[in-house]
Structure 1
Amino acid sequence: MTNEQPYAIGTPGIKWGAAEKAQWFALQTIKRSYQAEVVSKIDDLTTDFDVEQYGELSYGEHTYPLSIIKTGNFDASKATILVTGGVHGYETSGVHGAIRFVETKAKQYLEHFNIIVAPCISPWGYETINRWNPDAIDPNRSFYPNSPAQESALLMQCIDNLGVDVFAHFDLHETTDTDNSEFRPALAARDAIVQKNWNIPDGFYGVGDTLRPEHDFQRAIIQSVEQVTHIAPSDDDGKLIGVELEQFGVINYPCKELGLCAGLTDAKYCTTTEVYPDSPKSDDENCIVAQVAAITGGLDYLIHTSK
C-alpha cells in the first residue's frame, strides 16, 4: 500500500472522529492469547523474581492484568535498570525478548543492578496484533501527564510508585511489513496527513535520545547485536526511517517531546531497539535473541564503564 491508496475507513483529508474510531475498533479481532503466551511465562518466573500486578485493563469482555517482574530485594547501592516491551502490542519480539532476558540472563546481572521488567505494556494490542489501543491511540506517543492511553498512564504510575531512579532504560520494539500495509496508512487516515516515510530498514537498529544520546552506549549495543544478527544499512539518502544516522545502526529521536516510552524516565542511558522479523536474513527467534543481546550489550558496557 502507498500513500496514494485510500484507507478503508474515513474520508481522505478529514481526521477521524468517534464514528470512524468505532468503525476501526469493530474490525479488530483476537488472534492470539495473552494469557497462554505471555502471562503463563511471567508466572513461571516467580521462583527467582518478584512478579507484581500494577494494573488491569478492561476492554469490552476482555480483562488484562498488567505485571512487572523485578528484583526481589532492591539494593539502594545498585543502579536500577528498566526493560519494557510490547508498548506496541503487535511487536512480538519486544514482549518475548523482555521475558527471554529474565529467563536466561537477568540473574547474571543482579550483582550489579536492580532490574525491573514490564514485558507487555499493551496486551490488547498483543492479542489483536495492533499498534494502537482500542481507542485508536498509540501508547508509544502517549507517555506524558494525563495520558489518554491507559497503557501508558498505568506504567507511568507504576514506575512513579516504585520511587526509584532509573539509570538505564531499554525499550524493545520491532518493525514489520505491516507497518507499510496497515499501520502507516491507518495513521495517515486517522490524522488526515500525508505519510511520507515508507522506509522499513532491513535489520536491527537502535534509537537513542536526542538530549542524551550516549554515543558509546549505543555503539556497545550495536556491537553486541551484530554478533547474532545483521544491522540495518542506511537508505540511499543515508537515513533510517527518514532520520539522519547518528552512527552506524543508530538514529536519535526527541523521546520526551514525542511522548515515547523511552522518555518515560530521566534515565541517563536509554535506547529503543528495532528488529525486522520479516527480513529474509532473520526470523522470530533470531529477533528475540537480538533483543536479549541489545540488553546484555548495554549492561556490559555500563558495568565496564563503572570500574
Structure 2
Amino acid sequence: MKFKKSLAALALSTALVAGGAALAKDSDHDWTGIDILVLHWSQSSNPFFEAVNSGVIDAAEDQGVTVDIQFGEEDPVTTSNILETAIANGVEAIAVAIADDNAYDEILCRAKEAGIVVVTLNIDDSQGANGICRLAFMGQNFVESGYVLGKRMIEEHGLKEGDLVFTPVEAPEGTYAVLRHEGVAKALAEIGATTEILGTGNDHGQALSLMTQWLLGHPDADAVIGLGQTPTSQAVQAIKDAGLTIPAGGFDVSQSILKNIEDGELTAAVDQQPYSQGYYAVTQAALAVKYGLYPSEMDTGGAGLVDKTNYKAAVEWAGKVR
C-alpha cells in the first residue's frame, strides 16, 4: 500500500491511499483506477477521525482502490468546493458526512446523476435517504443513542423534575448534535428535566474554558452530558474546575474518556465505533463500483454504552480503532 500526501499536511493523515493487497485476490483487474473521495465534515485537527481514517485506509488496501481523505473544516463552502472538484475529476465514488441538511443536496444529486456512487458516513441527513441523494449510511443512530444515554443518567443519578442538564457540543448546528440532543432531551422530558446547549468547538483547551465558565455561571446544574468527544473528554475537569460535584456522561471514546470511566468520574460514553464507519463506507462504495453491489445501511454503534463494566475492552484500541 502506498501513501502520498494530499493538498496539505493536515494534522490528521489527509492522504491519497493506493491499495495493493486486494490485487492478489483478483489478478484479472487493477482496481487502483477506482478513485473514492472520503470527505469528513469536521476540522482536520479533530482527533476523533483518526479511527475513522484507520478504517478508510484498511478498506482501501483490502479493496485495492485509491482514496482521497479530505476535511470540510466545518465550512459548507469548503465542503462544496471539494465535492465539485471531485465530480469534475471523475471520481467513481464519494463517501461524505452530512452535517448540514440543505447545503449539499444539489451537488450530491448531480453526482448521482453522473453515475457516481454516493454513500454517507459518520453523519447522515436527518431525513436519511429521503433527504439526500445517497445509497446508504454507515454510522450511529443519534436519537436512539442519545435517549439510551439520557435514561442511564436518569436511572443512575436520580435526575428528577426541574433538574438542569448541561449538554455541550462542538457544533450545535450540526446534524449529529441536533439529533443526539433530541434523544437526550426526550429522555429528560419524560421526567420533567431540561437541558441547555453550549457550542465548544473542537479545541480541547477552549472547550474546557467555555464549559467551566458555563458551570460557574450555573452552579445549580445537576449533570453534564457531552454530545461529542471533545466536550465529553473535558466534562470531568470542567466540573472540578467549577467546584461542583455532579455526574457526567457523554458520547464517543478516547483514552482520557476511558480513564475518567475507569476512575468512576464519568458514568458512561456512547461508542459509535468510528473505524467501522470508515471501513464499511469505503468497502461498500468499492463493491458498488466494481460489481454493482448495492450498499447496505449500517448502524455502527447501536446504542451501546461503554462504562466501568466493559471499558477495558476499548482501552487498547482507543484512538486507533475505537
TM range (shorter): 0.3 to 0.5
Task: Name the structure where helix makes up a greater proportion of residues.
Answer: 2
TM-score, length of structure 1 as denominator length: 0.35
Structure ID, larger Rg: 2
